[in-house]
Amino acid sequence: MPRRRTDLADDLASSQHAGMGSGLAEAVADLRRGAESWAITPFARRSEVLHELLRTVAANARAWVDAGCAIEGHPAGDVPDAVRAEEIATGPLAILRLLRLLAATHRHLAAGCLPPLPGPRTARGIPVFPTAALLDRWLFPGLTAHVEVDPDGPLQAPPAHGADSGRVALVLGAGNLTSIPVGDTLHAVFVRGQAVLLKLHALHRELHEVLQSAFDPLLRR
């Protein structure tokens, strides 16, 4: 989970005096400088970055799936179709879906307006899943999700600089789905306005180079 009340860079600066190597603290200091720059990046530029990510993630999707299959213990050329299908759906496909939704939201925010609600507000909240413009109903039949909101409350755009904006977040990769740490990272970057230090689980080391290539537009920020 991203850190909220304190900044990771401050924590590591203190930890360095307790014997932590300077290399990590220096890397986080670089992230902090990037976080300060990202915090004042307008929605229009963030939208452009999201569209760049759509292209680079799609270009690395096959390598991502191959790495996921290898993590599951299936060498190249000997992967059951069901395993490959699962790695596609829970890996790059899930992230491409998230990137499309984030890009659509940022496009509206860049134009100075709120994105349209996925459906009418009801006593249950706002229906956010499945999304009509995507393949949700086909990929996830029978699943629905609502976000609880005050049915009489006002709707307003998020502030350009939130309380967590400009901070450095730590995301710890866990779980057996390769999209989980990536999705958490994208949330911290594009929803909270933070820079991220992502620590992949040791089992996911096969993903390191793939994710570096897929998320090059963010790494170059």
| Lookup: tokens for 40 | 């004042």
CA quadruple 172, 8, 195, 116: dihedral positive or negative?
Answer: positive
Q: Is the pLDDT of residue 12 over 70?
A: no
At 9, the pLDDT band (50, 70, 90 cuts) reads: low
Amino acid at 136: D
The predicted structure's pLDDT at residue 198 = 93
Evaluate whether 72 touches 87 at the Cβ level (below 8 Å): yes
The predicted structure's pLDDT at residue 179 = 96
Note the pLDDT tens digit of each residue in 88-104.
Answer: 999 999 999 999 999 99
Domain spans of the chain? 8-117+155-219
Q: Is the pLDDT of residue 168 over 80?
A: yes
CA quadruple 210, 99, 216, 181: dihedral positive or negative?
Answer: negative
Q: Report whether the peptide linkage leading into residue 130 is cis, meaning its omega lies within 30 degrees of zero.
A: yes
Amino acid at 96: L
57-75 average pLDDT score: 95
- Measured at the CA of 208, the angle between CA 54 and CA 203, to 5 degrees, comes to 120
The predicted structure's pLDDT at residue 103 = 96
Report the predicted TM-score, pTM, of the whole model to 2 decimal places.
0.83
Q: Is the pLDDT of residue 74 over 60?
A: yes
49: nearest Cα among 90, 115, 91, 107? 107
How far apart, in whole angstroms, are the C-alpha atoms of residue 108 and residue 101? Answer: 11
Q: What's the mean pLDDT when you consider all of the chain?
A: 85
Q: Is the pLDDT of residue 6 over 60?
A: no
Evaluate whether 12 touches 28 at the Cβ level (below 8 Å): yes
The predicted structure's pLDDT at residue 183 = 97
The predicted structure's pLDDT at residue 2 = 39
How far apart, in whole angstroms, are the C-alpha atoms of residue 106 and residue 186? Answer: 13
The residues pairing with 195 across neighbouring beta strands, listed in sequence order, are 168
